[in-house]
Structure formats: structure tokens, C-alpha cells
């Protein structure tokens, strides 16, 4: 069995744990080979390959990023991209392609699978918005980093009697904002799932500061948007792949709060800090479990599936049922963030 392996889309902590597990499991008891593709789908189209053996994965478990490199690159969006993918996979005699990625990578994986390639997907994204799995690689570490940042901002907010706006990642879903907001004791959490009314937010802050507090923490997901009819006009700034330009909504919210309340207000944009550095044990374990499960699935002859965490179990789910579908924060969790504000 010849296994191909790529990491696509934005990087995150825990990818190397998954790569390591794929290589160990494949080359160990199964005696399979692993061919890595550099920089996601771009490496498959360009035939940029690297054979992966045990020496290549030594000491990578605690290291962030991905030893294979990654890129935001969709083969279908490039002229001759799919033909390039198929030609490389044939030249390398790949029996099964393991794709580690988020929404964009999984969507491309589904299209490649539809062209007849055996594909196994592994979900990763700090946004945790891949449908079908309780957790994606990278999310746990990002929540840890965001929570620590909120804790740190807390003490300086209190010392200076300030409103602190903390912008976290989360393009289409507010998983990081809600979880870090609850864990860090934020007064307000703004998530894409519930468009916000700036008037209500300002009223709440004024009331809180009049009543008892001298500071507030407002956590904003980068994908948060004002409700229709709200007196705050705002257009998201998007990059080439629909990625949000960091700081845009945080800056706006921070400015509106300062202007409408007169409170001393500061903005912290966490940005890519949330995606860097060493993975938490949870992400190392999740990456390891998904890597082993993906190889097992390939060896069982499964195809067009994604590894997924369901409760305590790692299972495989049909890729077609999850690719391109968004997992948003449930109302119960959103409510907890509001109740505790
Ligand atoms: O999809 C993960 C993510 O970190 C999003 O939260 C964010 O909007 C985006 O990637 C940033 O993309 P880039 O690294 O290309 O700026």
C-alpha cells in the first residue's frame, strides 16, 4: 500500500502529531510507504513530493506548524489543477490519499474523490467548524492561547479602568470566542452565530460601569457582524480566499464603544498567535488518534471518509456528508456565555 499525505489550508498546532502518527502506523505494522506532498494541494499538482520515514518524524510531536508545509490552494480553481492532481497521484502510484485540512481542503478532497481517487480526510482547524466531528485538530490549543490572553488583559483592564476588546479568530463560527470568553470570564462575547446590536452592547456597558464595575472585557470573533437595522454600518474585509482580514471588526467595535460611551477603550487582536507554537496535550492526542485511524481506514479499504471524534470514540464518517458543511456553536453554549456575562 502506498499512502499519500498532505496538510492544506491554514496551519495549526497538532498537525505534526497527525503526520507522525500516519507515518508510524503506516510504516509499522502495515509495512506501507508514505509519500508527503509539500504545501498542500499545490504540491500534488506540482509533483512536489517527499518520502516520509521514521527519521523524518523524530521530535516533531511538540512542534507547531506542519513539517510538510501548507498553502491556501484549491486545485479546481487553477487551470489544469485536477488533471495535475490525478497525474501526480498516478505517477507516484498512490493507493490512498490522506488529506489533513479544514473546509477548503475537505471540499477539494471531495472533488478529488469524485474523480476516482481513494481519499481519507482528517479534520483540522482552530475554528472547530468542521461538521461531523466534536473536535478538530488545533482548536483546543487556540482556546488555551485565547483564554490566557483574556486572563492577562483582565488585570490591566482593571488597573486602568478600561474596556478591553479582544478579537479572536473564527470566520464563520464563534467556537474560540465563546469557549475562551466563558473560560476567561468575558463580560460580552460577540459571535457570528448571533448578529449583535451595538446599541444593546453600549447600553449594557454603561449600565455595568454605572452600577458596579470599572472595567469590561469584550471578546469579538473576527466573523461577528452587526444585526440588520443596527446603527453600525460595517463591511467585512476579505482576502483572496474569503479569509477575513484580522482586526477589522475588533477595530470597529472598539471605536464604537469608545465614541458612544466615552470609556477608555483598547483593542487586542490575537491573530495568528492563536495558530502558532506548541500544541496542547489534547491536540497532540487528537492528532495522533486521527492519524492512526486514517491509516487503519485506508488499510481496511475505506475511502471517501473523514476521521471524526464522536464523544469518546474516533470513528469514520462519509466525507460527502461533512465536506463543505459548517458546524456552528449550539444555542446552549451561546446562552452560557450570555448568562455568565
Ligand atoms: O481557518 C482558520 C483561520 O485561522 C481563520 O480563523 C482565519 O480567518 C483564517 O484562517 C486566516 O487565514 P490566513 O492565515 O490565510 O490569514
Q: Which pLDDT score, from 0 to 100, does residue 262 have?
A: 97
Cα–Cα dist 319/110, whole Å: 7
Atom number in ligand 1 closest to CA 9: 1
Say if residue 138's pLDDT is above 90.
yes
pLDDT at 341 over 90: no
Determine which residue's CA is closest to atom 12 belonging to ligand 1.
Answer: 243
Give the global pTM: 0.96
Mean pLDDT score across all residues of the chain: 96
- Helices 281-299 and 15-27: crossing angle in degrees, nearest 10, is 40
The answer to whether the CB of 284 falls within 8 A of the CB of 17 is: yes
**Residue 127 CB less than 6 A away from ligand 1:** yes
Sequence-distant (6+) residues with CB within 8 A of 145 are 270, 273, 274, 277
Spacing, Cα 276 to ligand 1 middle (Å) = 12
SS3 for the chain is: CEEEEEECCCCCCCHHHHHHHHHHHHHCCCCCEEEEECCCHHHHHHCCEEEECHHHHCCCCCCCCCCCCCCCCCHHHCCCHHHHHHHHHHHCCCCEEEEEECHHHHHHHHHHHHCCCCEEEEEECCCCCECCCCCCECHHHHHHHHHHHHHHHHHHHHHHCCEEEEEECCCCCCHHHHHHHHHHCCCEEECCCCCECHHHHHHHHHHHHHHCCCCEEEEEECCCCECCCCCCCCCCCECCCCCECCCHHHHHHHHHHHHHHCCCEEEEECHHHHHCCCCCHHHHHHHHHHHHHHHHHHHCCCCCEEEEEECCEEEEEEHHHHCCCECCCCHHHHHHHHHCC
Question: Residue 228 CB: number of other CB atoms within 10 A?
Answer: 7
* Ligand 1 centroid – CA 164 distance (Å): 23
| Average pLDDT rounded to a whole number, residues 330-341 | 92
First to last CA, the chain: 54
- Known binding residue 65? Answer is no
Domain ranges of the chain: 2-138+279-321, 141-276
CA of 86 to the centre of ligand 1 (A): 28
Q: Taking 80 as the threshold, does the pLDDT of residue 155 lie above it?
A: yes
- In this prediction, residues 181-198 reach a mean pLDDT of 97
287 CB within 6 A, ligand 1: no
Ligand 1 atom with least separation from CA of 241: 15
Pocket flag, ligand 1, residue 123 (CB < 6 Å): no
Residue 172 Cα to ligand 1 midpoint, Å, equals: 11
Q: Per-residue b/e over 232-259, b at no fewer than 16 CB within 10 Å?
A: beeeeeeeeeebbebbbbbbbbbebbbe
Atom 16 (ligand 1) nearest CA: 243
Does residue 72 line the site of ligand 1, with CB under 6 A? Answer: yes
Q: From the CA of 105, how far away is ligand 1's center (Å)?
A: 13
* pLDDT interval class at 240 (50, 70, 90): confident
Residue-wise pLDDT tens digits, 20-79: 999 999 999 899 999 999 999 999 999 999 999 999 999 999 999 999 999 999 998 888
The grid coordinates of residue 6 equal: 498532505
Give the C-alpha separation, 202 to 207, whole Å: 9
Q: Is 169 in the pocket of ligand 1 (CB under 6 A)?
A: yes
Q: Can you tell me which atom of ligand 1 is nearest the CA of 176?
A: 6
C-alpha to C-alpha distances, 215 to 205, 211, 316, nearest whole angstrom: 9, 12, 46
The ipTM assigned to this model is 0.96
Q: Do domains 2-138+279-321 and 141-276 have the same CATH topology?
A: yes
Q: Is 244 in the pocket of ligand 1 (CB under 6 A)?
A: yes
Q: Which residues are marked as active site?
A: 127
Model confidence band, residue 137 (pLDDT cutoffs 50, 70, 90):
very high
Residue 336 pLDDT level (bands cut at 50, 70, 90): very high
Phi, psi of 18, deg, nearest 5: -70, -40
| β pairing state of 216-221 and 188-190 | parallel
The reported pLDDT for the residue numbered 236 is 85
Architecture field, domain 2-138+279-321: 3-Layer(aba) Sandwich (3.40)
| 105 annotated as ligand-binding | yes
CA 122 – CA 99 distance, rounded (Å): 6
Report the distance separating Cα 189 and Cα 167, nearest Å. Answer: 10
Q: 141-276 adopts what CATH topology? A: Rossmann fold (3.40.50)
Amino acid at each position: 500500500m502506498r499512502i499519500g499525505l498532505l496538510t492544506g489550508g491554514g496551519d495549526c498546532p497538532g498537525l505534526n502529531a497527525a503526520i507522525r502518527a500516519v507515518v508510524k502506523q503506516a510504516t509499522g505494522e502495515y509495512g506501507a510507504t508514505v509519500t508527503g506532498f509539500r504545501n498542500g494541494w499545490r504540491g500534488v499538482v506540482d509533483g512536489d513530493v517527499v518520502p516520509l520515514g521514521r527519521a523524518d518524524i523524530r521530535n516533531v510531536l511538540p512542534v507547531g506548524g506542519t513539517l510538510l508545509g501548507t498553502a491556501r490552494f484549491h486545485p479546481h480553481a487553477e487551470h489544469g489543477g485536477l488533471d495535475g492532481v490525478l497525474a501526480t497521484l498516478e505517477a507516484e502510484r498512490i493507493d490512498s490519499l490522506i488529506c489533513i485540512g479544514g473546509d477548503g481542503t475537505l471540499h477539494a478532497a471531495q472533488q478529488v474523490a469524485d474523480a476516482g481517487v481513494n481519499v481519507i480526510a482528517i479534520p483540522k482547524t482552530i475554528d472547530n467548524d468542521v461538521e461531523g466531528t466534536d473536535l478538530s485538530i488545533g482548536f483546543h490549543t487556540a482556546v488555551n492561547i485565547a483564554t490566557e490572553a483574556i486572563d492577562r488583559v483582565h488585570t490591566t483592564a482593571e488597573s486602568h479602568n478600561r474596556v478591553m476588546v479582544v478579537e479572536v479568530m473564527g470566520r464563520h463560527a464563534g467556537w474560540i470566542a465563546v469557549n475562551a470568553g466563558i473560560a476567561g470570564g468575558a463580560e460580552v462575547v460577540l459571535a457570528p452565530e448571533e448578529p449583535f446590536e451595538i446599541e444593546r452592547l453600549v447600553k449594557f456597558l454603561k449600565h455595568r460601569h454605572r452600577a458596579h464595575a470599572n472595567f469590561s472585557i469584550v471578546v469579538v470573533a473576527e466573523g461577528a457582524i452587526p444585526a440588520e437595522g443596527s446603527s453600525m454600518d460595517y463591511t467585512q474585509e476579505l482576502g483572496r480566499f474569503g479569509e477575513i482580514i484580522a482586526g477589522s471588526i475588533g477595530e470597529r467595535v472598539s471605536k464604537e464603544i469608545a465614541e458612544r460611551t466615552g470609556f477608555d477603550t483598547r483593542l487586542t487582536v490575537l491573530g495568528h498567535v492563536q495558530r502558532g507554537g506548541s500544541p496542547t496535550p489534547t491536540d497532540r492526542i487528537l492528532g495522533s488518534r486521527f492519524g492512526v485511524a486514517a491509516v487503519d481506514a485506508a488499510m481496511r479499504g475505506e475511502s471517501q471518509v473523514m476521521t471524526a471524534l464522536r464523544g469518546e470514540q474516533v470513528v469514520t464518517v462519509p466525507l460527502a456528508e461533512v465536506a463543505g458543511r459548517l458546524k456552528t456553536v449550539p444555542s446552549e453554549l451561546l446562552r452560557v456565555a450570555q448568562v455568565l456575562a
